Each structure stands twice: as structure tokens, then as C-alpha cells.
Structure 1
């Protein structure tokens, strides 16, 4: 029954993490310890991402330039503009950090496992999905912070210490993982379940620490029912525009149906595995929790939506309304 309501098991984990942070947030002397644990977990996560993202498959898949270029344009171009539009549309009714979260959502790379799994379930080009996810995440490690800084104005200004944190916590571990890939990737591939657990535990820790700081700063007192409704409505509209737009964009590019399916999930899904650590790196803890709220809502909604539409897409044009 639970699998029908939450097609991805990580959705209830995220909900439980938010609930735990709301009831038992990290306080006082425990805060530096929790932040150190979160930072160490993020370093490990990006090292692990560097190990498992396949360089050979990336280089091979780049040959499908129309699909990969389309995914790149949609993920970092069109989605960034949609996120900016959502920020501007909600700025008058939401706290600034919360509205900024929609722009932050828009500049993130795609998911890896979820986009590939959804594409496979929907009859997409699975090999191209792996490549698209890898390419977008490789580019996103460096491009997402720069794109956010360019679009967010003063709110997204990255100072020298912020650059140093991005390089030391995100980029260097990722590069180290790529260097160690030949030795460690066979072990990672043979322990997929363990690696997935470690991956999701790391994300949960980052979300818990960031959201705890927001709770201590009074997020639930700052948000009233109307603002919660605005966030949910804006996320739903953004979800519809992103998934519908990605499908239409694939059609405009003249992609074959399997490639359109790949573009749909690679372009419209957004990665909390990158978003949570990046928010913790770019923003003070209390602000990071607020910025993450739109991404948390969107991430959980995209998993549920993807699981619902994938079987219909697999049936072909007669089985879906997107055609």
C-alpha cells in the first residue's frame, strides 16, 4: 500500500527527516558536531559520485549531440529561467529565502538513479539516460553555483570563502573519485544496494542539519498557511511546466520517441543529492533550510509523478496524453 502512495522509498525517508528536524532539531553545542558530520558526509557523497559516474560512457554518449545538447539546454537553461520566473512570481508573498529556493531549484542538475530508472520504465533510451545524467552532474558541480550567482544578483553572490568551500567540499572530492574510479568502481557496482543506502543517508543528514537550523530560526513561525499553499501551488505549476516543456522540447528537436523520454526525465527532474549539499555550502544554516523547501517539495512530487506517467509512456502514444 505504501509503495502506491510513495513510488520511491526515499520520499517517506525525506518526510520523516523533515518531521524529525521539526520535532528534535539540532541545538546548542551539538550544532558544530552535526555540521561537521554533514560536511564529512557531503565530501564522501561527492567522492562516491566521482567514482561511479562512468567517464567512458560519457565520452561515448556525447556523440548523440542532439539529445545531450537538448538535455543540457533544458536542464540549465529553460529550467533555470522557469525557476527564476517562479522566484519573481512568489517574491511578493513569500520570505525572500523561500522564494529564492525556486531559482535554486532551477539551476540544479538532474537526478542520476531516478531519471535513469524512470526512463527505463517508460521505454526510453537507457544508455543515453545514463550518459545524460552523468554529463549533467559533471557539468552541474561547477556550473550550478556559477549560474545561481549570475541569476540571483546580490542574493547569489559567492565570496572567496564560498568558492573555497565549493572547491574543497564538492569539486575536489569529485575529482578524487574520478581519479580513483578504475580501482573502486568495480566494488561500487558490486555493492549497489549498500552504496544507495550510503547515498541516501548522506542526503538525509544534509537535509536534517539544514532544516534543523531553519526550525531553530523559526521557519514554522515565519510561514503561515497561505504561504505554505503558495509554495505547494508554485511547485505544482513548475512541475507541470517542466515536464510538459521537456516533452514538447524533445518534439521540437525532432528526437525519436525513446530519446524524447530520456530528455523528459533528464531535463525535468532535479537532484536533491546535489541540491542539499550545495545549499549547505552556499548559505548560512538557517537560510539553507528555507532555500531547500521548494526543492524538497518538487523532489518528492517529481518522483511520484514520474512513477505514475512512466507506465503510460511505455505503452506508446495511444497510452498517454503527452503525445
Structure 2
């Protein structure tokens, strides 16, 4: 098991056994808010504006990835609503819908694309654009699809701007002074990133424990959630693969579209859920955590297979070029 996934599961178990309450819950909640701001400040500091603008040349690829992330997934989430009353609680279905509006990820999409020998620079840009767009689109879609459960009032907008957007913009503005420091301390800051997310998870699950929300989630409900999340992932992978072929993308770009268009960001989604759902975020983030584990396992298998096929594809392409040159 991936150490980070093990840490997430351990954090959930800790929240179940020792949930923060009273003054401790207030202190942990404040620390989580600070951690979220720091997380997005680091995101802004890492993003190279020049690289992000340079990636706009492949606008067709990014358009397909964006359509998968913010159109296909929400449609799949709404379609799952027909089965949800029989398999899930209302809160878990809210979490499934929220999962469907979360932006794509950068880290795992890039790693999978690299393994499968796809277009890595395009994957970096696609994940980056999705995260930036998600700061605006995710709250809007969540408010539209989920409704009253989302804190999308004036106060909610201010919370999003204060905790997510402003720290990100500050990171961008200060990047010329912070980029070299971040480059020298990647490992330490990676631990800080993950520690911040673990703190968000602990806070959300602690609130759920103290409010008794977890008593509503039976093993049957968890298996139902896992089944629906797996179905959403399978349909996303199939649809992006089919669309990329029909639209005429080459092999490297198809790999990028499939992985960037079917993956969801745990690192971005968890802080967003904490801001949008507040004390009710506990059960809402569970579908995203399960989906994250599913996408890692399934996509790693696919990436490995595509990696082994890559030399064959390159050889076939070279032979076609030779034939074309000899007949021309």
C-alpha cells in the first residue's frame, strides 16, 4: 500500500478513536484553515507562469480534458442519482456529486502519463489549468448540483477567496523570491503538503464523529459507494479514450487526455470541501478518498500496460514513415 494512503487511513482511524472536541476542535479547525492557506500559497509559488502560458498552444487537448473534468463527470454523478437512494445515504451521494466537480490532479496524472510514455508537458499544463479553473468552477457546480448543503453565500465566496484564491495569488506574486527556496527544499515541503491534507482529513472526520454522522454509514453503504465510484471511473476512462481517438489525437496526447481527464485531485478537493461544507465535510470527502485510491490502482495498471506497448507503437510508426517515404 502507498505510504500516503496508509497515512490517510491512519488519520481516519485516529479521528474515529480520538476525535477532537470542544476547545481542541476549535484549535485543530483553526490550524486546518491556516494549513489550507499555506497549501495554496505553495501551489502558487510552484506554478511557472511562462510554462502555463506556453501550454496554451495545445488548446484542443486542454479543452477535451476540461470537458471531461467539468462536464462528463457531473453528468455521470447525476446519472448515479438513480441508484443512490438504494445504495447511499444522502450525505454520501452529496460526496459523490462533489467528487464529480473536483478538478483534475497534477501529480498522479503526470506520473501516470510519464509511465505510459505520453505527453508529459501537456499533462503538467492540463493539470495546472484544471486546478486554476476549479477554484471558480468547482464551487459554482457544487452550488448548482448540490444546493443548500454548500456554503455558497457571500460569506462562502469570501471564505473561498480568503483561504484558496488569495494565498495562491500571493504565491504567484512572490514566486521570483520563493521559487528557488522551494526548489531547494522539495522533500520537506512535500511532507508539509501531505501533513496539511492529513490535518484537513482529521478535522473533517472528527467533526463527523462528534456529530454522530458515521453511525449512518454501514458496510453495505461503503460497498455501494465503492461500486458507484468504480463505475464512474470506468466510464470516464472509456469515454476519454474513445473521444481522444475519434478526435484524431496521436498516441502521446491520447495517454495524456485519458489520465488527466479521468483523475481527480485529492490535494485540491479536500481543502475545497472543508471550505464549502464546513462542519459537514466528513462524509462528503469519503467518496473522494475512495475514488483517489481506485484511480491510483486502476490507472497504474493501465499505465504499465501502455508503457510495454509504447515501443511497439513507435516501431509501427517508424515503419509507416519509411513506407510513405519510399512510395513518395
TM-score by length of 1: 0.92
Q: Does 1:153 align with 2:177?
A: no
Aligned position for 2:166: 172
Aligned position for 1:12: 6
TM-superposed CA distance for 1:181, in Å, is 1.4
Q: Does 1:202 align with 2:196?
A: yes
Contact 1:54 1:134 in 2 (8 A): no
1:300 to 293, 298, 306: 293
Contact 2:151 2:277 in 1 (8 A): no
Aligned position for 1:232: 226
Q: Distance in 2 between matches of 1:93 and 1:304?
A: 23
Aligned position for 2:326: none
Q: Distance in 2 between matches of 1:318 and 1:243?
A: 22
1:45 to 31, 39, 48: 39
After TM superposition, the structure 1 = structure 2 runs for residues 53-92 of structure 1, keeping only pairs within 5 Å, are: 53-92=47-86
RMSD between aligned residues = 1.8
TM-superposed CA distance for 1:92, in Å, is 4.6
Q: Distance in 1 between matches of 2:233 and 2:17?
A: 29
Q: Distance in 2 between matches of 1:221 and 1:299?
A: 23
Change in 2 beyond 3 A, CA 1:153/1:27: closer
Contact 2:73 2:232 in 1 (8 A): no
> Where do 5+ consecutive residues of structure 1 fail to align?
1-5
2:267 to 273, 294, 319: 273
Q: Does 1:215 align with 2:215?
A: no
1:314 to 302, 307, 320: 307
TM-score by length of 2: 0.91
Q: Distance in 1 between matches of 2:165 and 2:175?
A: 15
Contact 2:68 2:240 in 1 (8 A): yes
2:100 to 84, 98, 106: 106
TM-superposed CA distance for 1:20, in Å, is 1.2
Q: Distance in 2 between matches of 1:319 and 1:13?
A: 39
Aligned position for 1:291: 284
Q: Distance in 2 between matches of 1:20 and 1:246?
A: 38
TM-superposed CA distance for 1:155, in Å, is 3.5
After TM superposition, the structure 1 = structure 2 runs for residues 252-271 of structure 1, keeping only pairs within 5 Å, are: 252-271=246-265
TM-superposed CA distance for 1:70, in Å, is 0.8
> What's the CA shift string for 1:209-234, capped at 9, x where partnerless?
00111122223311122212211111
> Where do 5+ consecutive residues of structure 2 fail to align?
314-328
Q: Distance in 1 between matches of 2:45 and 2:300?
A: 28
Aligned position for 1:3: none
Q: Distance in 2 between matches of 1:97 and 1:38?
A: 22
1:139 to 133, 142, 150: 133
Residues 78-87 or 112-121, more deviating: 78-87
Q: Secondary structure at the residue paired with 2:99?
A: helix
Name the one with the larger helix percent. 2
Contact 2:237 2:258 in 1 (8 A): yes
TM-superposed CA distance for 1:71, in Å, is 0.8
Q: Distance in 1 between matches of 2:29 and 2:268?
A: 17
